[in-house]
Structure 1
Amino acid sequence: MGDRGRRQDGVTRRSVLAGAAALAASSCGPRSASPPLRFWATSYEGDYAPHLMPAFTAATGIKVDVQSVPSTATHEKMLTAFAGGALPDVFVLPSGWIGEFAMIGALAPVPALDYVEDIVPSALALAQIEGKNFAVPWSAAPQVQFYRRDLLRDAGYDTPADTWTAWREMGRAIKHRRPDEFVFLTLLNWPDTLFSMLYQTGMTMLRERDTRGNFRSPEAEFAFAFYLSLFTEKLAPRALSTEVQDAFAAFAQGRYAVWPSWPSLLLDLHRRRAEIPRERWGVARLAGPNGFGPAAMIASNVAVSARTTQPESAWALVRHLTSTATELRFQQLIGNLPARETAWTLPQLQVPMLRPFAEQMRQPAMAPKIVEWERIQIEVQLVAEHVVRGLLTIPQALATIDERIDQILAKRRALVEAGRIT
């Protein structure tokens, strides 16, 4: 992705030393009495981040206390920590949270533009708030589809179809050969595939300066109708993730042929390759109404607390974590895809299985940058489940979604009308 110079060696050194050389030189003075930096991350990022710290500590003399925070409680934990003055010095935020934490004054602005130079444009666009930088992109994760090569081949397909109509026909062909199994692993409490479909129609999710819902639209109706058809034709199960004991095992056993998912699945596929050998699966971009298009994308970003007592050390850690060398190391450890353009020019990422991710990053879906968006996604998912279970028609559902969005955005609407926010 891009061709911004092949600077791996230079970036490797600067990632640790730029902005931290002075800290290393003074580490035997007052710095040695400083408490360790506190760093929070979630899931695999939190579990494996300690592996990234020895090089930083060796170069700077700064110790880092890493805490892995459960993903289901991260948002509340961070808000509570901010209210109590206990946020860590450095922490990881998904792009959708940056606006909220910046608004309440929790984030220190990125101090120099060189922190965000050489960033994949889509990852940077997701992270910026009104053109301002409050966090540095660390990894990017566009949604793609993982597929069973053998099951598709048996149905006459070398790779997944790229249009909705053809994709569903492919699903029918696979289902015809395996009537007792499903085709698409798209569970009802995993809303990302539905949102990818909505983005692919070109739909604008909100209207009136992001203060009202826009789901009573032809685009949303089109996306919901296609999504629903996957369940009514029994190509996807009417089930929640709690009803599927081990989604990976089900995919490995051939109970599903296509799994729309994220780069993190690459790690599970590597770890559990005894269950599903590498030659049996592939990666492709998601089908769209008329071919490939935007898809849901999430990104991790590293931020510094506005209240840190060690800002120089904190920003030195951000440089280290978001350097090309460290991002490539993390890609090896957990499959996270780097947010640095330079990383994508290097041999490690020049492998066929990563090409769909690289291509999808060039065509991202941009979610509305409002603090209420996460709540809105949950409401859409809940209403969509009622549609799939036959409790609401699509027109009823879209009207319900707009009503719920309008309720969620009532305060924002009042502030916009009063001219207090743009």
Structure 2
Amino acid sequence: MAATSCGSKPASPPLRFWATSYEGDYSPHLMPAFTAATGIEVDVQSVPSTAAHEKMLTAYAGGVLPDVFMLPSGWIGEFATIGALAPVPSPDLVTDIVPAALALAQVEGKNWAVPWAAAPQVQFYRRDLLQDAGYASMPTSWNAWREMGRTIKRRRPDEFVFLTLLNWPDTLFSMLYQTGASMLRDHNTRGNFRSAAAEAAFAFYLSLFTENLAPRALSTEVQDPFAAFAQGRYAVWPSWPTLLLDLHRRRAEIPADRWAVARLAGPNGPGPAAMIASNVAVSAATARPKAAWALVRHLTSATSELRFQQLIGNLPARASAWASPQLQAPVLRPFAEQMREPAMAPKIIEWERIQIEVQLVAERVVRGLLTIPQALATIDDRIDQILAKRRALVEAGRIV
């Protein structure tokens, strides 16, 4: 008994951290420095992106959410509303955040998570294929961009030009943002797609398919999009910063001098574009809030974000990180420029469901099953159904 009473205190169990996609796979690389500095072990679980939302909600309902977890910006409002999140305890955790990333993460001006990485949509393109078609740089307006596509198509009639898959709706949403379409009305309680701006975006999007510049295909029908890009099956691929990792890994298939990055074309030049961001949040039920927030501070430090940029291509959410020579490479300039002109989606819990409905209806337009006016009316009707409860709460003065 004496020996037991004099023994060392049992070590605390590891903090639990969940993250998705590349962030989940590579987060263990960030943990040794944290453990060395604090003595706190971290158990990292990589959660598949397709199952993350359901898994986290189920974990909350069962009282087993991890201490710290990664959240896309679009989920923060939902998890804050159900009481799953602890509010950010100190303003210094977010004072150095890129404004666009911070705005995406806030809910009614309150900080419920700390931005970890920002990912504006840009376009990757085959520099060599554009040069063969007589283009020294990427056109910046819609009409010129599409005319470039036609030129490339005439030279390569058996190939497509744009990789815009039907279950990847981000390019369509970027087009909607670029036209200035206001997709909701009446205090975000009704759809507003029956507008000239939305119709213009849909018409341009549809033209890419009707002119056979983009395939009428889902991602499941393209076995390896990267290989197709490397082989020249497509010349332009609207995508995200993490594609940089694939381009680096598979540079034997496509050397760096054959591709480049540019901001997306807009109706009259580049404008707002879709932007996603990953954030780190702390469970409201964690028994170790001090340790949990210490982990958040470590993960979202400029040092950790620069390390992640090297590992997986993620762009830092910390403004100070952008002063690093590491981020001065010309290939990153379009990302930095786009981050200064982000598109802001409506901050409502139902927005993710709305995006899915828009995607499904847009696919029917591309496949010739609906006209654009029919599609816009259908989208508004579906949105109105989705927002029925919100509308009732707004009309009753329960929410604003």
Q: d(CA) in 1 for partners of 2:56 and 2:8?
A: 32
1:45 to 20, 23, 42: 23
- Counting only pairs closer than 5 Å after superposition, residues 9-408 of structure 1 correspond to structure 2 as 33-408=11-386
| Residue identity opposite 1:223 in structure 2 | A
Q: d(CA) in 2 for partners of 1:222 and 1:71?
A: 32
- Aligned partner of residue 115 in structure 2, secondary structure: strand
TM-score w.r.t. length of structure 2: 0.98
TM-score w.r.t. length of structure 1: 0.93
4+ long deviations beyond 6 Å: none
Q: d(CA) in 2 for partners of 1:302 and 1:325?
A: 16
Q: d(CA) in 2 for partners of 1:204 and 1:106?
A: 30
Q: d(CA) in 2 for partners of 1:245 and 1:84?
A: 37
Q: d(CA) in 2 for partners of 1:292 and 1:333?
A: 29
Query: Would you say how many aligned residue pairs link Structure 1 and Structure 2?
Result: 394
| Residue identity opposite 1:70 in structure 2 | P
Q: d(CA) in 2 for partners of 1:159 and 1:200?
A: 21
| Residue identity opposite 1:78 in structure 2 | M
Q: d(CA) in 2 for partners of 1:241 and 1:193?
A: 14
> What does the per-residue CA deviation read over 1:64-117, in whole Å, with 9 as the maximum and x for residues that have no partner?
000000000000000000000000000000000000000000000000100001
Q: d(CA) in 1 for partners of 2:107 and 2:220?
A: 35
**Structure 2: gaps spanning 5 or more residues:** 1-6
C-alpha deviation, 1:33, in angstroms? 2.8
C-alpha deviation, 1:419, in angstroms? 1.1
C-alpha deviation, 1:159, in angstroms? 1.6
| Residue identity opposite 2:171 in structure 1 | T
Q: d(CA) in 2 for partners of 1:254 and 1:131?
A: 45
C-alpha deviation, 1:45, in angstroms? 0.4
C-alpha deviation, 1:29, in angstroms? 7.6
> What does the per-residue CA deviation read over 1:22-41, in whole Å, with 9 as the maximum and x for residues that have no partner?
xxxxxx986x5321100000
Q: Once superposed, what is the RMSD of the aligned Cα atoms?
A: 0.9
**Structure 1: gaps spanning 5 or more residues:** 1-27
> What does the per-residue CA deviation read over 1:251-270, in whole Å, with 9 as the maximum and x for residues that have no partner?
00000000000001000000
- Aligned partner of residue 40 in structure 2, secondary structure: coil
| Residue identity opposite 1:116 in structure 2 | V
